[in-house]
Amino acid sequence: MASAQRIVLASRPVGEPKPENFRLEDTPVPTPGPGQLVMRTIWLSLDPYMRGRMSDAASYAAPVQINDVMEAGTVGEVIASNVDGFKPGDVVLGRGGWQTHALSNGQGLRKIDPKAAPLSTALGVLGMPGMTAYTGLLDIGQPKPGETVVVAAASGAVGSAVGQIAKIKGARAVGIAGGPDKCRYVKEVLGFDECIDHRSPTMAADLKAACPKGIDVYFENVGGAVFEAVLPLLNLFARVPVCGLISQYNAFEEQKGGTSMNFLLRNALTKSLTIRGFIVSNFASRYPEFIADMTKWFAEGKIKHRETIVEGLPNAPKAFVGLLRGENFGKQLVRVGPDRV
Ligand SMILES: NC(=O)c1ccc[n+]([C@@H]2O[C@H](COP(=O)([O-])OP(=O)(O)OC[C@H]3O[C@@H](n4cnc5c(N)ncnc54)[C@H](OP(=O)(O)O)[C@@H]3O)[C@@H](O)[C@H]2O)c1
């Protein structure tokens, strides 16, 4: 019998996830029952939200249960199908999880045209992270020409798109990223106006110098020290789409409460701030506009992207821990299988 592999959640981490929180298992390749299909995973997406799924703290989505397969978006090939509308050879975007083969009833699967763009972009710039950037920036941030937009994790999947869309809309884009290589890329390749290194001891002063007219839109990806540097620079009526707080994801279990809460609330009150959290699924109805605009901008070379690829499912846990440490440079992916067998 042909064999498959999967990675399950073995235990819940406290702090940074460790290899023992995951377990690699060999299983038979599943056989589809009535109304089911089997996908062979080609690309597996690693995303920061997975840290939240490893925790059983209350959140917007249910946690992965112990011994269950880790959740993930995937691009795969249908290899057997009893679902109308899907046949072997179809390439599909779905939520196959951290495994080489996944069963599906077809719900939520989207067929991808392999000729339209590289398959992996369906998990990055033309997928969930790109749509997060597009909707969070345009629907909540609403940048106007000449305004200053600041985004951290600026070389990453979401942040890189935020700054480039801001530029397309005529705003000034200031990125924040970890280290000189990422900052150089953000300015020279992605075309941001400035990029600040958040690891520098002068980060707050550097950010102030890079934003002489203050900040009109702060697209929040990281929280922590970066947010504290941003907050005093926010202008009247600034907008803050709260997309993620990656600097805090490994700390949530141990936190007893923030110390800068009153400072935040005072700024919200005195500056009439709009601070709005969101989950990309809030904007699901915007998918047609997103995919039309991003596909066009991508084809025109106005939106560039970068990927960090690790080979093989067994390397997913190490790559995921690295993502939370900033070791990825661009969208983090795992190549699980070839495009075609
Ligand atoms: N709300 C939603 O629906 C939604 C959807 C997708 C993503 N998100 C959020 O968007 C953010 C970016 O996600 P992504 O997929 O694009 O990941 P990414 O930027 O490709 O990768 C994560 C990056 O976060 C940065 N980082 C890690 N620890 C940090 C720290 N302590 N301080 C500052 N930066 C740190 C690192 O970049 P540096 O080396 O540059 O620091 C790392 O490369 C995350 O917070 C994620 O949870 C939210």
Q: Residue type at 218?
A: Y
Instruction: Give the pLDDT band of residue 260 (cuts 50, 70, 90).
Output: low
Mean pLDDT of the chain: 94
**Ligand 1 pocket residue status of 132, Cβ below 6 Å:** yes
63 C-alpha to ligand 1 centroid (Å): 20
Q: What is the pLDDT of residues 23-56, one digit of tens each?
A: 999 999 999 999 999 999 999 999 999 999 999 9
241: DSSP letter: E
CB atoms within 10 A of CB 167: 19
**Ligand 1 pocket residue status of 21, Cβ below 6 Å:** no
**Ligand 1 pocket residue status of 157, Cβ below 6 Å:** yes
CB atoms within 10 A of CB 325: 10
**Predicted model pTM:** 0.95
**Ligand 1 pocket residue status of 222, Cβ below 6 Å:** yes
Supply 314's token pair. Answer: 């067994």
246 C-alpha to ligand 1 centroid (Å): 5
CB-CB contact of 85 with 283 (8 Å): no
Instruction: Give the pLDDT band of residue 20 (cuts 50, 70, 90).
Output: very high
Helix and strand totals (H; E) in the chain = 9, 15
240 C-alpha to ligand 1 centroid (Å): 16
324 C-alpha to ligand 1 centroid (Å): 8
Which one of 60, 162, 246, 306 would you pick to mutate in the ligand 1 pocket, going by the greatest count of ligand atoms within 8 A of its CB?
246
169 C-alpha to ligand 1 centroid (Å): 23
- 79 or 255: which leads in pLDDT: 79
pLDDT at 239 over 80: yes
176 Cβ neighbours under 8 A, 6+ residues apart: 150, 151, 152, 153, 154, 195, 196, 197, 198, 203, 207, 222, 226
